[in-house]
Structures are given as C-alpha cells and as structure tokens.
Structure 1
Amino acid sequence: MQKNKRQILTAFLFIAVCIAAYFLIVREQNNKSASAQIFAMDTYMELTAYGKNAEEAVGAAKEEIERLDALLSTGNDKSEIGQLNKNKKGQISADTQYLLNCSFTIYEETDGAFDITIYPVMRAWGFTGEEHHIPTEEELQSLLQLVDASSLQYDASTQTLTLPEGVEIDFGGIAKGYTSQRVAQIMQEYDINSAILNLGGNVQLVGAKPDGSSWKVAIKSPDEQEEYLGVLSAQNKAIITSGGYERYFEENGRKYHHIIDPKTGMPAYNGLQSVTIVSEDGTLADGLSTALYVMGTESAVKFWQNHNDEFDAILYTDDGTLYVTEGIADTFTSSHSITVLEKAVAF
C-alpha cells in the first residue's frame, strides 16, 4: 500500500514538472522578439514583434512594405500610381481600389479637406522632391482647376480608373496608414499578439505589451522647446499625427509647410499646430489627421462629435490649447492643461 502511494505521488510530481516545463517553454516562446529597420515611403520605419513566430512575421511585414512602396510610389514611373498619372487610364489593383474608396469617403465627409488629386499643387511647391518654390497666384489658380477627386472615373466592372487630362493622384496622405494596417494584419496571421510598428511616426499597436500592459506612445510636440505633448496608453490602435512642423521651408522669414489646403492651394493655417488621430483603422487615421488639420479647430471638433464612434483625437492649437476627446482622456497624460472634448457638448 505504501509503495503504491509513493508511485502515485511520484507520478503526480512528474506530471507537475512536465506541466511547469511546458508553460515555461510557452512563455519563453511568447517572449521571443524580432525587430527590423527599413527605409520605405520616404521615411524610416521600425518593426518589433513578440512571439514564437516573430522573426517570420517581421520578415513578411518587410516584404509587404516593400511591395506597397513599389505599388503606390508617385516618384516611381513604373509603379501603378506612376503609370496611372502618366497614361491617365489603367486597371488598378485591390490595394489601390481600397485606397481609392477610403480616400473618396474621407473627401466627401470632410467637404474636400482631403483630396488625392492635390499632387500637381504639391509639386508646384516643391514638396514632391523638387526644389522648394512659392507658386504665383496665377499658377495656383490654374492648378486648382485640376484638384477635384470627384472628377476621377472608376469602372468597377473592369477595375479601370480614368484620370482627366492634367489630373494626377497621390496616396501619400493615406498610404502609410494603410501600410501599417496591412502589417498589423500580417502580424495576426502569424499569431503575433504583441507588436509595435512605427512607420515614420505613424504608430500601429498590435495587442498589448508582452506583459499584458498597455503600450505607452509619446505624442510629439510641435514646440521646439519640448519633446512631447504627452503620453498615450493604448492597445490595438493606430496613432497618427500630422503637423506643419514636420516638413516645411522658410522664405523671407515665413514658414511654408507641406499640408496644403485643397481649396486654396496654400499651406493650411487654420488654428492647429498638430492633429493626432487614434483609431482601430490605420487608413482612416492617416487620412483624417491631414483632413482635420486642414479643416481647423472648430470644424475638426464638430467632425469628431459626428463620428466619435470611429476615432478619438488630440488637437493642439496655435494658442497652446490642448484638446483631448473624452474617449482617451483617461489614458492620456501631459504636463499641459487639458481641455476634454465631450460628445454632446456644443463647441
């Protein structure tokens, strides 16, 4: 009888050790990490993933970024977008169809504050790689006649897009957000539940940190005297910021930045220094960060109040006021005084 008890106890101990060893192995596999740096879409990107398939996932993510860069680049005459701008007509891929649909939705909902046909105006200013130049009023008025996303003609039956003569498109205001969204999907396909993807300041979070806590994402300040506006705790979100401080040139003591108002052809100066969009949809976040910056404070706030189920926002104004929408107010910390925007309160 005593011998049987010892055998049973030994068996239980063996099983317990095996279970403990199994969980240690699983935990070690889940804590494996892989990182990569890549230059694409005219910016530096950093990808970090955690999990047993982290290395494979990061490798697949790099391939996807390179594929989309080659597909969507306006500076590459052989890309799909380069060919469309040159030939004015062509069959488009599923990626371009998706971006076209998203871009047109944002264009309509923001009354044209986001417009992918702004490219000729961007080029006139030198923000597409050429030497910076202040266009004349005559130049701008001529080019603005070409800025109208509603002039694009898409035939769904043949997947063919037609551009009017002189019109050119550029997905630069939305492509990185879409790319980060695609990379997040790839991470999930490889069973990665924890990753942080930084595509030139466009941050995409996959799940939580490996220890289960939220990621801490610093929001860059437009003010040269400080590094960050604050820190946001988040999981499974795209966090994308647009601001005139990112790319600009100076002439005769005045700054001219790269966020162009499609209605005027001029850099947008409508009361905002920066706009940060927080959403589960990276493509939407990228497009709206530009659109709301162009729209200005009052219109941006009203737009959020009408679409608060789709995104949250951090708005930093020219007079130093920091607005944070109520959906993320409890997870954003800052040394600045914060004004919380509520859904149902008139602005």
Structure 2
Amino acid sequence: MRNILLLLFIFICSNSLFAKETYKRTLLLMGSRFDITLIANDSVQASKYIDIAINEISRIESLISSWDSNSETSLINENAGIKPVPVSKELMDLIERCITLSRLTDGAFDITFASMDKIWYFDGSMTRLPSQKDIDAAIQKIAYQDMLINKENNTIFLKKKGMKIGFGGIGKGYAADMAKKKLIDEGVTAGIINASGDLCTWGKQKNGQDWKVAITNPLNKAKAFALIPVVNGAVVTSGSYEKFVQFNGKRYSHIIDPRTGYPSQGIISVTVFAPQAELADALATSIFVMGIEVGINRINQLKKVECIIIDELGKVHTSDNIDISSYE
C-alpha cells in the first residue's frame, strides 16, 4: 500500500509540475489582427512558440505581398505583358492551387482580380460610383486563364500589361495554415490561430474539449446562431456588412464579382468549414459571388467541406451535412 501511495504521489506531482496552460498573443500581421493561442508548459515556452508562428506568418507575407516591391508577387505584376518571372516552388504551388479554385468556382475566385484595385475604395474616400468605362477596362485584365505557368522553367507570366495578382482572398488563410504546420512540427500539441476570421485549430483545449467557434448573427452581433466545434480543421467567416459604400440609397459591399466588376448582392455572411484555412478562405469569398443556390451546390460536391450562409433578410442556409440546430 505504501508503494502504491508513493507512486500515486509521484504521478500527481509530475503532472502538476508539467501541467499545461493556455497562452495567447494578439498582434497586427499582414495588415490584420492575428490571435495566436496555444497550449504550453509555461510562458517562456509559449512565447518561444508564438515567436516561431509570427516569423512564419511574416515570411509568408514577404512572399505574397503586393506592397513589398521586392516580393515575388510584385515582380510578377511589374513584368505583366513584358516577360516571365522566375518564382519559388512555394509560390508556384500556391498559384496553381488558386487556378484550380478559379476553375472550381467558375471564376468567382480569381487572384488576377487585383487588376481592379483602383476602381472601388472602401476606406471612406469614394464620393461617387466608378464609371462603367473604368470597370470595363479593369475587367479586361481579370482572367486567371491569362496567367501562363511554365513549370519546367519555374516562371509565371501575366499576358496583358496592367494585369496584377493579389492574394487578399486566400493569403491570411494560407498564412494561418503554415503557422499551424510550423508549430505542429515544433511539437506544439494544441492551438488555434485566428487571422481576422480565418481560423484553424489542432488538438484540444486545456480542459480536453474541442475548440469551438461562434457563428454570429450579423444583424445582431450580440447573438450567436450556434457554437460549433472545430476539430483539427479550419473555419472562415466572411461578411459584407462592415466594409461598404452607399450611393443613392443602395449599399455596395467590398466583396466584388471579378466577372462583372460590381459588388455581390443578396448575402451578408458566409462561414465555411474545411480541412485547411486556405481552402475555406477562398470558398467563403466565392460563395458571395456564386450566390446561395450555386454556392451550396458546389460545397455539397466537396468532401469534408460545409457552409453556413446568411442572406440579407437574416435567413440561414446550410450545406447538406451540417445541422446547426444541434449546436444551438
């Protein structure tokens, strides 16, 4: 009995000595708020791991930033219509996945949409609607089909002068995924990375429960439709209710249809659940453009992907294999 009690004492002491805690840091990265939360033995270890995640996110930003003149993305844009640009395998792979997503969404997702960066502004500076002439001119430069990939030479070429690529619709999700992978490789057993609504998780909370995300009612932010567990996966919520302009009594959101050059209509919030934040990020924006019926149909064809859509009247629509009533 004495030996059993001694072993039990040692077990309790060792568990308390190495008891894990939850640590969180909030900071500005990629021009957005990032919340990095993880489970670690102590604050020193947690700080080290969070720094590793920050460095990885910063590395991704330097790769895909269109504001950094030295980034591979900027070099591709500067040489549009001039010559192919050598790129790293990482950027080549990311662009290839973007093209796959463009095909999947019938062009609702298109990284050459960056060619319209000077048409619509949602920072309070717009005083009138853009002219149809300006919109039409910008649309002529939006075409993922005009990105030429040469895998043999590892080059990307934009065929038309003035074309641009940008990763605003997928970049934060990709960065969150890569930071998660980095931390898992470092031995971090559980965490959650929230890149301004692009969220990915792994492991479980300190109390052994799954990480959970609240699906907020955009018409009443104090109320949530449901609290849904996210198990080693990602969830991204995009909304059209915060960034918009209004002219002649009509609201124009910041989510633009790259095929028409005009803001999408009819949907105010989309939440997508997927294995990776990169995929969820791209699909959440695409559903706004595709619309409720087409968007849900597309999601229903994808394995391990679900969505929740809230229309402008506050009605909730979901893909086939998710039932939010069970989480209310």
Shared fold, TM over 0.5: yes
Gap change, CA 1:117 and 1:54, over 3 Å in 2: same
Give the CA deviation at 1:12.
Answer: 4.8
Give the CA deviation at 1:229.
Answer: 3.6
Distance across 2 between alignment mates of 1:191 and 1:233: 23
1:191-227 Cα offsets, whole Å, 9 max, x none, are 2222121111212112221211122211233215655
Gap change, CA 1:134 and 1:21, over 3 Å in 2: same
Match of 2:317 in 1: 323
Q: CA RMSD in A?
A: 2.1
Gap change, CA 1:169 and 1:22, over 3 Å in 2: same
Equivalent pair of 1:38/1:62 in contact (CA under 8 Å): no
- The gaps in structure 2 that reach 5 residues or longer are none
Distance across 1 between alignment mates of 2:22 and 2:147: 44
Match of 2:231 in 1: 235
Distance across 2 between alignment mates of 1:211 and 1:99: 36
Please, what TM-score do these two structures have when normalized by structure 2? 0.90
Distance across 2 between alignment mates of 1:24 and 1:290: 45
The answer to which of 89-98 and 253-262 deviates more is 89-98
2:114 is the alignment partner of 1:119:
yes
Please, what TM-score do these two structures have when normalized by structure 1? 0.85
Question: What amino acid is the match of 1:257?
Answer: S
Match of 1:313 in 2: 307
Q: 1:184 aligns with which of 180, 183, 189?
A: 180
Equivalent pair of 2:213/2:229 in contact (CA under 8 Å): yes
1:121-143 Cα offsets, whole Å, 9 max, x none, are 2321125x794362211111111
Q: 2:10 aligns with which of 18, 31, 42?
A: 18
Match of 1:87 in 2: 79
Equivalent pair of 1:261/1:268 in contact (CA under 8 Å): yes
Match of 2:32 in 1: 43
Distance across 2 between alignment mates of 1:34 and 1:154: 42
The answer to which of 197-206 and 32-41 deviates more is 32-41
1:146-168 Cα offsets, whole Å, 9 max, x none, are 11001101111221111122210
Match of 1:250 in 2: 246
Match of 2:287 in 1: 292
Gap change, CA 1:20 and 1:247, over 3 Å in 2: same
- The gaps in structure 1 that reach 5 residues or longer are 1-8, 335-347
Correspondence 1:149-168 to 2 at 5 A = 149-164=144-159, 165-168=161-164
Q: 2:206 aligns with which of 205, 210, 222?
A: 210
Identity of aligned residues (%): 27
1:173-198 Cα offsets, whole Å, 9 max, x none, are 00011111111112211222221211
